[in-house]
């Protein structure tokens, strides 16, 4: 494996040093069951090349991950008797990322399963425009 991090849990899974319940593998991607599932069938899509998160992931690996999601998600839905799925990716510790190796979550969903991804919020009067302007200004620097 190219660009391996010896301290990374997922790199150890990719090299076979730690076992996993593998469901798919090709030259760029490993997909395996999450050991702490949000729902039964919760699957992780992991690039074999180490990157910390989406921001530093190679575009080639990002596209390979998303192509794998597109291929596997319908089969996971079918196998789990689900009617849909959530696709998630936590980036940085503040967003809930626990393993610092880029990975996508496919979470099969059924009506009434009780799983909540996040609570809805709202903006105060005029606040949305303030934040939109702040983001637009930051984008001008790209």
Options 50, 101, 103, 105, the catalytic residue: 103
Question: What radius of gyration do the chain's Cα atoms show?
Answer: 17
- Whole-Å CA distances, 6 to 1, 10, 76, 95, 136: 11, 10, 31, 24, 39
β-sheet with 29-33: strand ranges across? 22-25, 29-33, 43-47, 104-109, 84-88
Helix (H), strand (E) counts: the chain: 3, 5
Is 101 an active-site residue? Answer: no
Judge whether 16 and 52 are in contact, CB under 8 Å.
no
* Alpha carbon distance 126, 64 (integer Å): 40
Write out the catalytic residue numbers. Answer: 103
């Amino acid at each position: 494996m190219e660009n391996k991090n010896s301290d990374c849990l997922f790199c150890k899974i990719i090299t076979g040093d730690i076992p996993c319940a593998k469901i798919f593998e090709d030259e760029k991607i490993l997909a395996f069951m999450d050991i702490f599932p949000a729902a039964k069938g919760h699957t992780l899509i992991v690039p074999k090349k180490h990157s910390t998160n989406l921001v530093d992931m190679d575009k080639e690996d990002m596209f390979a991950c998303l192509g794998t999601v597109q291929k596997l998600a319908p089969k996971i839905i079918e196998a789990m008797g689900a009617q849909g799925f959530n696709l998630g990716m936590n980036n940085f510790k503040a967003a809930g990322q626990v393993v610092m190796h880029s990975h996508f979550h496919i979470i099969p969903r059924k009506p009434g399963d009780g799983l909540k991804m996040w609570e809805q919020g709202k903006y105060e009067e005029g606040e949305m425009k303030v934040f939109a302007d702040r983001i637009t200004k930051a984008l001008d620097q790209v």
